[in-house]
Amino acid sequence: MARPWNFSAGPSVLPEVVLQQAAAEMLDWHGSGMSVMEMSHRGRQFVQICDEAEADLRELMNLPADYAVMFMQGGGLGENAIVPMNLIGRRGVPAADFVVTGHWSTRSHKEAGRYGDARIAASSGVAAEIGGREQRPFTWVPPAQSWQVRPEAAYLHLCSNETIGGVEFTDWPDLAELGAPDVPLVVDASSHFLSRPLDVTRAGLLFAGAQKNAGPAGVTVVIARRDLLGKALSICPSAFDYANVAAEHSRYNTPPTFAIYVAGLVYKWVKAQGGVEGLEAANKAKADLLYGYLDASEFYRNPVEPSVRSRMNVPFVLRDESLNDAFLQGAEAAGLLALKGHKSVGGMRASIYNAMPLAGVQALVDYLKEFERRYG
């Protein structure tokens, strides 16, 4: 069966071989006589699946032993509450700082305010002139030297890839250089997890919902430096207390077993692609192809400051927005799905995650060209 190209921002395209393997093992996992869905989360088969997924992820991300890996539920928005409940009180007075660069970091900041003093250290929520070009709000990243981080904050949060705005951090600053050596970085990496090497040791905690680059919806990966655990607020549910989850190797209560299993298959696929380094090269080639075409065209436009354009989520607008419906209808007819931009920004968005092959991006560029030829 020929499948269309799926540009959904998430849940999103998975490697076809992963879906095939999950299908082949659906009724009987490795001679166990059970589907993974039917196994006890404490039985030896699932323990093997879960431990192997963790080991593969550790290898892929080069994680040292002092970082815990936790497979949790609740998604990115769940972590917006779970992170502060675990960390915001760790230094006494509950306080955390936020770099706000778009929709998702705005929501993280707002949610954390329910648990303590959540303050904005820097924001790109205003227009700015960068490199002689006028940038609209949330299409740029404030330079690290301008961040006002409180040295006594429990942590500094940033979203390293804003899925809606298409803004990606290429680097994370050393907070010691910003006068806050004891403030760990908390990174929401949901939409570019495993798409490029990320040096987690420069952060205290990183989380990512799996449903973009790393598996199906239902599992959220949390990677945290162990010394930050064990200081949760007393209101934190015990099932969301990282100290409990880490101590029980993600099996404090019933984890999303099937989602962890599929995520584990995705990790093996990432290894077979040459790891995150291999995928980075492929992702760069895909992004260059798409941005290259958009930039050369007078008909389409990507609004993001070029140095922080996301390799994963590429928003673009048609100069004549009255053509939007025709564009989307034609795209679907051409087998290009889910190109509609997020409702908060409109326009179009192509999410070109790890599992989207170069051929899919080429098909999109061919369609962009053809549409421009007909309507431009």
Ligand X SMILES: Cc1ncc(COP(=O)(O)O)c(C=O)c1O
Question: With the C-alpha atoms ordered 249, 275, 257, 219, is the resulting torsion angle positive or negative?
Answer: positive
Q: Do 215 and 221 meet the contact criterion of CB atoms below 8 Å apart?
A: no
Q: Which span sits near ligand X by CB under 6 A: 125-133, 188-196, 271-279, 304-312?
A: 188-196
Region at 179 (left for phi over 0; alpha for psi -120 to 50; beta for the rest): left
Q: Check 104, 140, 147, 172 and give the catalytic one.
A: 104
Is 241 annotated as catalytic?
Answer: no
Nearest residue to 62 via CA among 198, 184, 188: 198
Using the rule CB under 6 A, is 163 a contact of ligand X? yes
Does 77 bind ligand X (CB under 6 A)? Our answer is: yes
Q: Which stretch binds ligand X (CB under 6 A): 69-77, 127-135, 196-204, 273-281?
A: 69-77
The question of whether 147 is a catalytic residue gets the answer: no
Contacts (CB under 6 A) with ligand X, residues 133-152: none
Where in 98-117 is the site for ligand X (CB under 6 A)?
104
Nearest distance in Å: CB 88, ligand X:
18
CA 27 to chain centre: 31
- 185 close to 160: Cβ distance less than 8 angstroms: no
Whether 188 is a known active-site residue: answer: yes
Alpha-carbon distance of 220 to 258, in angstroms, equals 13
Least Å from the CB of residue 219 to ligand X: 10
Could you say whether residue 10 binds ligand X (CB under 6 A)?
Answer: yes
* Residue 271 to residue 233: CA distance in whole angstroms: 38
List the structure tokens of 243. Answer: 């100290």
Instruction: Give the nearer residue to ligand X in terms of CB position, either 122 or 180.
Output: 122
- Does the footprint of ligand X cover residue 76 (CB under 6 A)? yes
Give the H/E segment covering residue 272.
Answer: helix 257-272
By beta-carbon proximity to ligand X, the closer residue of 255 and 368 is 255
Tell whether 48 is in a known binding site. no
Are 72 and 222 within 8 A, CB to CB? yes
In the complex, which residues of this chain contact ligand X (CB under 6 A)? 10, 75-77, 104, 159, 163, 188, 190-191, 209
* Catalytic residue IDs: 104, 188, 212
